[in-house]
Amino acid sequence: AQSVAQPEDQVNVAEGNPLTVKCTYSVSGNPYLFWYVQYPNRGLQFLLKYITGDNLVKGSYGFEAEFNKSQTSFHLKKPSALVSDSALYFCAVRDMGRGGFKTIFGAGTRLFVKA
Amino acid sequence: DAGVTQSPTHLIKTRGQQVTLRCSPISGHKSVSWYQQVLGQGPQFIFQYYEKEERGRGNFPDRFSARQFPNYSSELNVNALLLGDSALYLCASSLPPGTGLTGELFFGEGSRLTVL
């Protein structure tokens, strides 16, 4: 079965510093990996995805993610954090079934960016 | 274009009651998925529907059911509510596999259910 793990419940960074939110995955076959962000009392918003190709994927709001097959990781990164980046971040993996699919989410990592 | 819309946004029920949650997907999206998000946890997959057929079901009891209509909107029904059903219920639409796209999910704002 496909799964993702987010080892950190919370990440704290200062504004202007680089940030990394970690994710590891376990899949059979080629991974379809995603990052989503959730602001308080809101639904999730798609940030970026890795399907194939370049290991460095660029997404919305200046975020990027690095796919590392040997380490089975898909860490989310941003060169310079903003206070407005403070939110809940979810790593996810697509699980294809017979005739359909489902997306499996990690437990989430809360990012706090301090001014 | 309108995004995914869900109704109601908030509702309070008592144990044993039944609830129906509604979802309208983004225009052109034929696949709808339902997720349950308990406070402090990641979303848990409940159902996926495509072309009015159930294409996937998560590990939820039979008290949970859903359907998709010809216009691709969807309803999630939960019977015999328990306190543990209190959660944010999220609907997401997507383009289905086979369209050549990867099917990232587009979420609504959710329906927050409180069971007393």
Subunit contact A105:B43, Cβ cutoff 8 A: yes
pLDDT in tens, B19-47: 999 999 999 888 899 999 998 899 999 99
Which residues are paired to B70 by β-bridges?
none
CATH of the domain at A59: 2.60.40.10
Mean pLDDT of B48-56: 88
What pLDDT is attached to residue A17?
98
CB-based contact (8 Å) between B99 and chain A? no
Total domains in chain A come to 1
Q: What's the pLDDT at A18?
A: 97
Which residue range is the domain that position A30 belongs to?
Answer: 3-114
| B60 has a chain A CB within 8 A of its CB | no
| pLDDT for the residue B70 | 94
Domain B5-115 falls under CATH 2.60.40.10: yes
| CB contact B97 to A (< 8 Å) | yes
Q: Report the C-alpha gap between A44 and A89 in whole angstroms.
A: 9
Domains of chain B by residue range = 5-115
**Tens of pLDDT along A75-112?**
999 999 999 999 999 999 988 766 567 889 999 999 99
Do the Cβ atoms of B106 and A32 come within 8 Å? no
Distance, CA of B98 to CA of B104 (rounded, Å): 13
State whether B109 and A42 contact (CB < 8 Å): yes
**C-alpha distances in angstroms, B65 versus A19, A39, B18, B84, B90?**
41, 28, 11, 17, 14
B53-69: average pLDDT: 94
| pLDDT over 70 (residue A5) | yes
Q: What is the DSSP letter of A22?
A: -
Average pLDDT, chain B: 92
pLDDT value at B75 more than 60 = yes
Q: In A, which residues are within 8 Å of B50 by CB distance?
A: 99-100
Segment B87-110, tens digit of pLDDT: 999 999 988 665 555 678 999 999
Q: Which of B44, B105, B112 to probe by mutation at the A interface, max A CB count within 10 Å?
A: B105
**What pLDDT does residue A52 have?**
82
Question: According to the model, what pLDDT value does residue B14 have?
Answer: 97
